[in-house]
Amino acid sequence: MALAFGAFAASRSGQAGVRLAIGVFAAAAAAMLSRLIQALMPDLPRPTVDPDLPFRRPYGGSPEYWRDWSSFPSDHATLLWGMAVATLLVNRRIGAVCVAVASLSSLARLYCGLHYATDIVGGALLGSAVVCAALAVAAAWEERLLAFAKQRPALVGTVAFLFGVQAATLFHDMRAIADVTARNVKELGAGSSGEP
């Protein structure tokens, strides 16, 4: 995310900045889509907790955290490769560094047994495809978005920062708030129906 902000700051034209912003938003949307796919598809255990796989975990870390998380596609790969593609299309040098970061992250997740290679490839393809599709569709809106950003720079900067932080953590805070809210609503519903 820091590299994407750096590429935004280094962009020589407003249109390049708008394209990068659209790409980053699309990469984050692709990561959310990846989580939805994980929830809807049959559960695929991660290598670190798959009883049928003789995987030897690296030292440290608890595999129990990953027991209830499906493996395909990798939401981390979806987000990082989507952002790498978005950045690469705007700034080749910073984009190349983003590709290196996405590659290292993907290799680390393979080594730690958090994903299979197909999870990483699927996530990378999903993130890249969503970013490219969003940029193709949004091309007609670039001028209007640029004009809006020039009229309201403080609002755009604030929203971009907040969204960037959430995207970098794969919306952990938002998901935690939704989880707590859903449990509270369920408990309130159970309490009003007379159940203990």
Q: Based on the number of CB atoms within 10 Å of its own CB, is 59 exposed (0-12), middle (13-18) or buried (19 or more)?
A: exposed
Residue 124 vs residues 8, 27, 56, 104, 139: alpha-carbon distances, Å? 22, 10, 25, 13, 23
pLDDT in tens, 37-57: 888 888 777 777 766 767 666
192 within a domain of the structure (yes/no) = no
**Total number of domains in the chain:** 1
156 within a domain of the structure (yes/no) = no
Sorted by sequence, the CB contacts under 8 Å of residue 95 that are 6+ apart come out as 7, 84, 85, 87, 88, 89
163 within a domain of the structure (yes/no) = no
The per-residue pLDDT for 100 is: 94
The per-residue pLDDT for 192 is: 58
Encoded amino acid at 12, one letter: R
Pairwise CA distance, residues 10 & 16, whole Å: 10
Pairwise CA distance, residues 72 & 43, whole Å: 8
Answer yes or no: are the C-beta atoms of 127 and 81 closer than 8 Å. Answer: yes
The per-residue pLDDT for 120 is: 92
The per-residue pLDDT for 85 is: 92
pLDDT in tens, 63-89: 666 566 777 888 889 999 998 998 988
103 within a domain of the structure (yes/no) = yes
Of the listed ranges 23-32, 92-101, 152-161, the one predicted with least confidence:
152-161
The per-residue pLDDT for 115 is: 83
Structural domain span for residue 18: 2-150
Q: At what angle do helices 153-168 and 142-151 cross, to 10 degrees?
A: 110
55 within a domain of the structure (yes/no) = yes
195 within a domain of the structure (yes/no) = no
The per-residue pLDDT for 173 is: 76
The model's pTM is 0.73
106 within a domain of the structure (yes/no) = yes
21 within a domain of the structure (yes/no) = yes
Pairwise CA distance, residues 103 & 81, whole Å: 8
